[in-house]
Amino acid sequence: MKNRNISFQAECWIFVCALLFTGCSKEHSTEEKRIVEDVKEERKDETKERQEMETGDVSAEENTKDLEGDTKDMAAEPEIVQKDWSEYLNGRNGTVVIYDASDRRYTIYNDELAATRRSPCSTFKIISSLIALEHGILKPRDSVRTWSGEIFWNEDWNKDIDFGEAFRTSCVWYFRQLADDIGKDRMQKELKKISYGNCDISDWEGRLNTNNNNRSLTGFWLESSLLISPKEQTEVMERIFGENSEYSIETQKELKQVMLVKEQERTDVSVYGKTGMGMADGIVVDAWFTGFAETAEGKLYVCVRLGSTDRGDVSSSAAKEIAIQIVSDMVS
């Protein structure tokens, strides 16, 4: 750059000297000034081009176009594929949602029910466990809670119990205490963070649950104020266990240990999840299984919900069996 400026100054001096020796007229002087100005403009253009080449700068318009293109790609809606899985439900009223986050694709049976929010029931134990683990409220190696002595309908709950067994037996009184330890404010904040359904914990005590008035066995997640759809359940599972999870590896590891489903024949597919069941007037109205499967191709986030029907075999265990069978057939 410095050499080019010296060269330009030298050219100007030669030009001036020529004027002095030739005694150019006023008309010539005007024309010569124009030539000098043209040379200056050319120098400016060359300098500008060189700076752009050295810095790699592009125009604001090009930057804007690139940004718009990237934003469109990121905002692209996931694909939704309708699938007839009625044979797996065998006449039951229900829905199945499989979410493949790597392909951004939902495979859904009964999309109307898939979008319908219902009480999560005991599937919410995944979330209360997640929050308690992440905040150090629950320490798996020191997690025994003392039984009150009250006799419950499930014999497995009538004793001191630790986290792992409480999760697997779906011990309501254990998780009622855990929710109270988490507290309303923290619970509300965490549900909003993870976008859990309607995030409504206003019925903290579970008084809306007409099927049970024992505080030890009810709460906002049991046929009460908190609602979530099957499709939203799969999305929440992806936020917890997906590539962009904000939760610690240790928390995910502890959750996976208690969520692992033992009743599966295949060794190349691992299924993790939690069942849940809710009743109204003595009739099963919500039977859930929600979780995910680890396969050689990646994770599949799954949710099965069965609703009330005339059939008598609507249960959370049936929902789990349906989920395992569909996932196994999908990856075979």
Dist. CA 298–CA 255, nearest whole Å: 18
Burial of 296 (0-12, 13-18, 19+ CB in 10 A): exposed
**Amino acid 264: pLDDT:** 72
Encode the chain (332 residues) as per-residue pLDDT tens digits.
444 444 444 444 444 334 434 444 444 444 444 544 554 555 555 555 555 545 554 444 444 445 455 444 455 789 999 999 999 999 999 999 999 999 999 999 999 999 999 999 999 999 999 999 999 999 999 999 999 999 999 999 999 999 999 999 999 999 999 999 999 999 999 999 999 999 999 999 999 998 888 999 999 999 999 999 999 999 999 999 999 999 999 999 999 999 999 877 777 899 999 999 999 888 899 999 999 999 998 999 999 999 988 766 899 999 999 999 999 999 87
Per residue in 166-211, pLDDT tens? 999 999 999 999 999 999 999 999 999 999 999 999 999 999 998 8
Per residue in 77-94, pLDDT tens? 899 999 999 999 999 999
**Amino acid 76: pLDDT:** 76
Phi then psi dihedrals of residue 299, to 5 deg: -95, 140
Domain ranges of the chain: 2-72, 80-330
Q: Domain 80-330 - what CATH class?
A: alpha beta
End-to-end CA distance of the chain: 67
**Considering the chain, what percentage of its residues have pLDDT values greater than 90?**
69
**Amino acid 50: pLDDT:** 55
CB 90 within 8 A of CB 323: no
Burial of 136 (0-12, 13-18, 19+ CB in 10 A): exposed
Instruction: Give CA separation, 326 vs 112, 307, 329, in Å.
Output: 19, 18, 5
